[in-house]
Amino acid sequence: GIQVEQSPPDLILQEGANSTLRCNFSDSVNNLQWFHQNPWGQLINLFYIPSGTKQNGRLSATTVATERYSLLYISSSQTTDSGVYFCAVELGGETSGSRLTFGEGTQLTVNP
Amino acid sequence: DAGITQSPRHKVTETGTPVTLRCHQTENHRYMYWYRQDPGHGLRLIHYSYGVKDTDKGEVSDGYSVSRSKTEDFLLTLESATSSQTSVYFCAISTGPRNIQYFGAGTRLSVL
C-alpha cells in the first residue's frame, strides 16, 4: 500500500514562531487532506489539497503532486495550535468514498 | 461536527466479551468509516461503508465486523474482545465529490 511519512515527528515552538510540516507519499494520489487533532482528541479537517496551494488564516498548505509531497505552514503560532497534525492520502484511481491512509503525525507544542 | 455522535465515549470490558460501538449521523451521508488510533500508528482504517448494507474491509479488519442497516447508523462489533483491541476508535463520514472526511469525538475502549 501507499506509504505516508511526516516530518518532523515532534516540534516545539515559542508563541509567535513560524513552522513548516512536511508530508511525503510514495505513490500518485487523488486526495490529500490535513487534519489537526487537539489535545482533547478531537480531529478537525484543515485542508483538502491534492494539488496546489490554499490558505486559511494563519495556516496554508501546498501540495506538489508530481514530486509527491505536501507542506503545511503555520505562521505566528499560538498555544491553541498545539496538538498533532496528520496528513492523509488516497491512491489515485480509488473511486469508492475516500479510503485515506494516514501518516503518523507531527506532534506540535507551542509554548507561551 | 457534521452531526456525528459516537457511543459510548468510554468503555472498559474484559477479554472475550463482545463489544459494539455505535456511530450515528444526522445528515444522510453515504460514506461512513471506522478507524482505530494507536501510538506510533496514526489512524488506521478498520471498515467502511458506501451505503446501507454495503461495507468493505480496511487495513486492519481482522477481529472486527460492521453493520449498516440504515443510513444514519454504522455499528462496529468486536465479537470477542482482546487486549490488542484496546484503542481509541473514531467514526468518520465523508461529504461531497471531494470526499472530505469529518470525525466523531472518538470512543476510548480498554480491554482488560
When divided into structural domains, chain B yields a total of 1
Q: What are phi and psi of B83, to 5 degrees?
A: -60, -25
Contacts of B50 in chain A (CB under 8 A): 96-97
CATH of domain A4-111: 2.60.40.10
C-beta separation of A70 from A62 below 8 A: yes
* Residue range A55-87, pLDDT digits in tens: 999 999 999 999 999 999 999 999 999 999 999
Q: What is the CATH number of the domain that holds B33?
A: 2.60.40.10
* Residue range B21-73, pLDDT digits in tens: 999 999 999 999 999 999 878 899 999 999 999 999 999 999 999 999 999 99
Please report, in angstroms and rounded to a whole number, the separation of the first and last CA atoms in chain B.
31
CA distance B112 to B110: 6
Q: What are phi and psi of A79, to 5 degrees?
A: -60, -30
Q: What is the CA radius of gyration of chain A?
A: 14
Whole-number mean pLDDT of chain A?
Answer: 93
Specify the amino acid at residue A8: P
Using CB atoms, pick whichever of B41, B48, B106 lies closest to residue A104: B41
CA distance A94 to B74: 22
* Residue range A17-37, pLDDT digits in tens: 999 999 999 998 889 999 999
Using CB atoms, pick whichever of A1, A98, A103 lies closest to residue B101: A98
SS3 at position B36 = strand
What are the extents of the domains in chain A?
Answer: 4-111
Interval B101-111 mean pLDDT: 97
Please report, in angstroms and rounded to a whole number, the separation of the first and last CA atoms in chain A.
40
Specify the amino acid at residue B15: T
Positive or negative: CA dihedral B52, B25, A72, A105: negative
**C-alpha to C-alpha distances, B73 to B3, B19, B22, nearest whole angstrom:** 12, 16, 7
**Structural domain of B36:** 4-111
Mutate to test the interface with A, among B99, B103, B107, B108 (most CBs of A within 10 A): B99
Q: What is the CA radius of gyration of chain B?
A: 13
C-beta separation of A99 from B48 below 8 A: yes
